[in-house]
Structure 1
């Protein structure tokens, strides 16, 4: 990590030691408390099974089939105790009895259902996890180590993480801990990432859950954090209410000699935006350029988001308008290498100029990937105008630019529009009218958008405010039917149903 980055942050972060108080304090895991409260069966007591199943599940076998290590010795001693009902049987008879028991379990219909789901690539993560929960405990005895890792990967392959997916993932992690199955750093990082990203508003409880997983990974499992771990923790800390915690994490990265990568710098830019520090945004961006990393649309999206959060929306919009006007848009004709090089050089010169106008160093050495705004670029500004300015004309202009760039809008765009109707539709002489709301709702229903909980809630709020509760109930029935057809989550549907009667009171 470059020393001048930390010289700026150490002055701010020196006043607190909150991270280390949380990190070093012995406590029960808040994550596991939440998991235990979830409506799913837990692995609580292995003694309900016969002796051979306990031995297979709670130990690690060597290549010759024997159990090694202190755990294996302890289990072997426990396994030598023969239940009173079997004392009169010989060791050979006991072995045959145990093998027959295992054979009976292998023929269980629950196993057939699980392996059918596991081997089918089209099985959805929720369905796969439900079939996993139906396995006789201890569940992991039927899977090899590689299959357990494959199950975790299948559960985590989702478009957007939520609390339900987090609980599913942590349930399997808990089973792996109980079963002495090694947990690689990648899966620890994924578990922390679920805690960091599955909630829009992070509570102190969620923050402690993420930090506890980090503590458990390093102290209990002996797996040291890497740059990816710290990037996830930095993201977690940035979304918390502890303003100095991200800087403490940066100091810990420096202490361990872990260099900042492109994700670290993107997180730092976002952090300074949340702190309203425009100088910090530009400082972090200059440091990112000096590392020689490629500037792509992900980095510029982070810069634009941070500038808006820091109260500089015009500076962010200037960057977007320049990106829209770049000759590297999708509508440009394919060109030769020389033409591409000249265009890229021109793009670099133009972007350097526009960034210089917003306070960035004009002499910075930019390395650019082919740049064009993406869906996120437009979603940032559409959501900003829907929340803050209520400028419907500006949103229509952005939607037109979105179409000209060949980008298909997704549900997130319509969600921002519904938010605008809900926040500004009750104002007199507003352009956010019921007629326009109906047009957006028709597009939401008829153009194949994926329905989610947030978009549904904003849609219902908008209809309740502009047309009343009766119309809101009618819209909900239409939405619910479509949502169920798409295989929507039952708990999310139930939550929306519960919140609908008191929706206008919430606003």
Structure 2
């Protein structure tokens, strides 16, 4: 048996590694009649506890008649072999045959004499046991064979552990599925449940009316406080409103994605249906929850699309294919993006404004400016409304292709657009989402009535917005380091009443950390301090869109470390940041570790640096 062989070897190695133990066991074996196991253990423990103590016995002291096999090196039940300093090649331990004496290949007669027994060995045989006696060791047996029991274990239905029936994915736009369950079919619950439902309805309504008035965390926490199964307490209308609220996120992230998919799982397990729009939102979460899409997000989107069409039997619409095309292009899977494009054409889906913008972005990623121009022209010819977002995509693509002159021309044309567009209200996430819906409606209207196409376009804003200046500042500031261009863009932001945002300051601090530190650079310490004070004033004044997170704090500290080359300045800025970022043990530990690494890279030494908590 291999297991017993390993046990035998482990005991052999453990005892042979301690020479005094080996000698003690051998001596104890010769001196005790019957080779009692307890005596062997006591001898080993005594030797381990008192290693200096010798347990040798003379030949006369152990000259008592013993049964053969008492010699531990020749016992059939021993795990110790002859006192040889190498492990025997074939262990006879735990074997049924009587061990025979072997002459080891010793190099001296003294070594050979050392293993000779002190007296002749008389073999002892153990009485064999019958089958009935061996079977009597167990109390009872079931009337089953090994093969039958293995078959029983392989069959989960016979064991009563059959897998639960998995609810299939259901996508439906039918009125019955959409409104199911009706208010009459709902679980009522007690008074506490009714209060929770009232708070949930109020939170969802508040989110849909004013997106920034309540967070999705609050809505999800109220939903999670319902008893399971939660979906049985929500009507069809409330279920769809919950999906609409959880899907309204300005920037998709992993937390929002997991939250949304948890609700999808609840709906699926409850046996209710989802709409195609809700599944497309799940598809969008799976592909866009990270800043830069990769093969992982592409595969996740394809898996959900396959589940949508193969399991639920619902074909994707133009929104579905636009999401697939967008994630494939951003992940650099251009062949897959082209296949998606061809599949969309084959199925006869009409290109909406989202797909046209994705196509412009696709050619920009491929550094094909001619393709960008062709895609933009096709969008105009198709009657789609051109707004600032479309032109921002064009500027970004031209800059990626290295055509700065073309990008500046587009920006110049945006500045020359109708001055009345400066009178529009502040454009935030909710406003932009509403504008996109209106533009989609205008596009459908203009295709049916071409004579009405001029009205929506004339009312659309084409002036630069925050996204425009974020693109320009990241290119001319972070990449090229042209301070004069950066100053011009900041002045023009004031003219077009574009509010300050954290992304603008982030681009500036990045530019200082990359291009600062040289004596003759335009990215001087004085300008860095001015930007820093402006950031603090705006942040303390409660300006919208300003934030201090780990990403912002890291670039601020890098900028001061490179431009000032002063540990005292960096520590002072660190304390200013620490007093303002959200209280979080994880953030504190991460930023403190980053500070130590930054100071170590600069070679400033650990003096006066806050200690990392253990």
* TM-score normalized with structure 1 length: 0.66
Check 1:389–1:200 CA distance in 2 against 1; reply closer, same or farther (3 A cut). Answer: same
Any conservation in 2 of the 1:117–1:127 contact (CA below 8 Å)?
Answer: no
Pick the aligned partner of 1:401 from 492, 495, 508.
Answer: 492
Check 1:226–1:460 CA distance in 2 against 1; reply closer, same or farther (3 A cut). Answer: farther
- What CA distance in whole angstroms lies between the structure 1 residues aligned with 2:185 and 2:201? 29
Pick the aligned partner of 2:190 from 91, 97, 106.
Answer: 106
Indicate the residue corresponding to 1:223 in structure 2. Answer: 314
- What CA distance in whole angstroms lies between the structure 2 residues aligned with 1:200 and 1:419? 18
- What CA distance in whole angstroms lies between the structure 1 residues aligned with 2:311 and 2:587? 35
User: Deviations along 1:69-119, whole A, 9 cap, x unmatched?
Assistant: xxxxxxxxxxxxxxxxxxxxxxxxxxxxxxxxx88x6345x7745643542
Check 1:506–1:299 CA distance in 2 against 1; reply closer, same or farther (3 A cut). Answer: farther
1:478 maps onto 2:478 in alignment: no
1:458 maps onto 2:541 in alignment: no
Pick the aligned partner of 1:119 from 202, 226, 249.
Answer: 202
- What CA distance in whole angstroms lies between the structure 2 residues aligned with 1:293 and 1:465? 48
Any conservation in 2 of the 1:111–1:135 contact (CA below 8 Å)?
Answer: no
Give 1 or 2: higher helix fraction.
1
Aligned-residue offset at 1:498: 6.0
Check 1:320–1:475 CA distance in 2 against 1; reply closer, same or farther (3 A cut). Answer: same
Any conservation in 1 of the 2:183–2:235 contact (CA below 8 Å)?
Answer: no
1:417 maps onto 2:508 in alignment: yes
Check 1:118–1:227 CA distance in 2 against 1; reply closer, same or farther (3 A cut). Answer: same
Check 1:174–1:325 CA distance in 2 against 1; reply closer, same or farther (3 A cut). Answer: same
- What CA distance in whole angstroms lies between the structure 1 residues aligned with 2:598 and 2:190? 50
Aligned-residue offset at 1:490: 8.5
Pick the aligned partner of 1:308 from 389, 394, 399.
Answer: 399
- What CA distance in whole angstroms lies between the structure 1 residues aligned with 2:164 and 2:223? 18
Indicate the residue corresponding to 1:439 in structure 2. Answer: 530
Length, aligned pairs only:
379
- What CA distance in whole angstroms lies between the structure 2 residues aligned with 1:197 and 1:323? 29
Any conservation in 2 of the 1:295–1:367 contact (CA below 8 Å)?
Answer: yes
Indicate the residue corresponding to 2:160 in structure 1. Answer: none
- What CA distance in whole angstroms lies between the structure 1 residues aligned with 2:245 and 2:470? 29
Indicate the residue corresponding to 1:165 in structure 2. Answer: 256
- What CA distance in whole angstroms lies between the structure 2 residues aligned with 1:155 and 1:399? 35
Check 1:172–1:330 CA distance in 2 against 1; reply closer, same or farther (3 A cut). Answer: closer
Any conservation in 1 of the 2:252–2:289 contact (CA below 8 Å)?
Answer: yes
SS at match of 2:419: coil
Any conservation in 1 of the 2:287–2:300 contact (CA below 8 Å)?
Answer: no
User: Deviations along 1:189-210, whole A, 9 cap, x unmatched?
Assistant: 1112222322112232222112
- What CA distance in whole angstroms lies between the structure 2 residues aligned with 1:440 and 1:273? 32
- What CA distance in whole angstroms lies between the structure 1 residues aligned with 2:534 and 2:510? 16
Check 1:292–1:327 CA distance in 2 against 1; reply closer, same or farther (3 A cut). Answer: closer
Cα RMSD over matched residues?
Answer: 3.5
Q: Which runs of 5+ in 2 are unaligned?
A: 1-162, 166-178, 207-212, 424-455, 603-614
Q: Which runs of 5+ in 1 are unaligned?
A: 1-43, 47-59, 68-101, 333-365
Check 1:128–1:194 CA distance in 2 against 1; reply closer, same or farther (3 A cut). Answer: same
